Amino acid sequence: MSDFAVAESIPSPLSILSEEEQLFRETVRQFAQEYIAPQARAMDEQQHFHAELIPQLFNLGLMGIETPVEYGGAGGTFFEAILAVEEISAADPAVGVLVDVQNTLCVNALLRWGTPEQKRQFLPRLAADTVAAYALSEAASGSDAFALQTHAEKHSDHYRLTGQKLWISNAKEAGLFIVFATLDPSAGYKGITAFLVDRRAPGLTVGKKEDKLGVRASSTCEIVLDECRIPAANLLGEPGKGYKVAMEALNEGRIGIGAQMVGLAQGAWSHAVRYARERVQFGKPIAEFQAVQFSLAQTATEIEAARLLVYNCARLKDARRAFMKEAAMCKLFASQVAERAASQAVELFGGYGFVKDYPVEKYYRDAKVGKIYEGTSNMQLATIAKAILKDS
């Protein structure tokens, strides 16, 4: 059993999905299993996406799910974007990152903060053929996101950005970056401003690609800005309001990471179930041993709980209700479940789980980053604690 296709699926309660959502999910699942899963191992080893994959994602409308039809997008919902990230991540979490960053961070930021002209200029590109990246993190600015040092200078009709960004997902493939820089370091977070930066902008260089533990096909690179000149019209939101752009986008992005981790957990669990049915020891499949059954049952329950946390949060977002606490909860819990599910799968496979010929070791490596990017688990706990103490 060396293929990477996901054989089993925990059926979600159909009552929480409309017929259109069920059809959408099945369409994405079929594509992921037929076209992404067979390439997962090779892309992981080669550390890049195969050339035909990204155009396929665009052609299916998966890179502009919420983008209105008038801008060339699918005109869907945030919930549908979450379904897509989940199903793609069950096949390969690295591809899930690409789709997640595009939809939940970048497209959402443009929809929320972009001017009519910016939407007309950039949204059709992001729906048709242009990957986007979200450039916030720096060497001294990780969990303390607003300690960033990249600065922007205003000139008559343009800005010049200088600094270095690190850990930028999608950077290798991206044609558009949302870059955060400060106009006034003395103003603290109130000086931070967001900019739309074309990859071809003078002074922008995509640096080295990180050699990562997991999600290796997904590019994570440094971005160097050397007096990078961009038009004044490319300022996203208001000057000094970049912290609002960043925090709102990250809250939505955390739901996406939750979906990625649910998909990852589902993929690992599915392989474990299939193997348990096939592996014979002491004269019978190991799935007939109660210890194995209980372990799989416990994980199935945790995956469903994580899924419902993610779905509820996505529904809140679509309903334009507050979801900051819920976003932190779903990312925190889903990343924990993913790590446990992947670990269980490796152990159930035994020695086979420890080698790359079988898919579960990749899920195990991919799972770790869920507790790190778009806010560490400790940062999610801090957010949850602050919210519940305020409400109580």
| Catalytic positions, written as ranges | 374
CA distances to 2, 246, 336 from 377, in Å: 33, 18, 9
DSSP bridge pairs for 230: 159
SS3 assignment, position 231? strand
Q: Which amino acid is at 5?
A: A
What tokens does 88 get?
Answer: 């793609």
Report yes or no: 268 and 340 within 8 Å, Cβ to Cβ: no
Distance CA 389, CA 392 (A): 5
Distance CA 247, CA 211 (A): 28
DSSP code for 106: I
Q: What is the largest CA-CA distance in the chain?
A: 80
DSSP code for 368: G
Closest by CA to 206, choosing from 291, 280, 133, is: 133
Q: Which amino acid is at 24?
A: F
Residues 6+ apart with CB under 8 A from 321: none
Residues 6+ apart with CB under 8 A from 25: 17, 83, 87
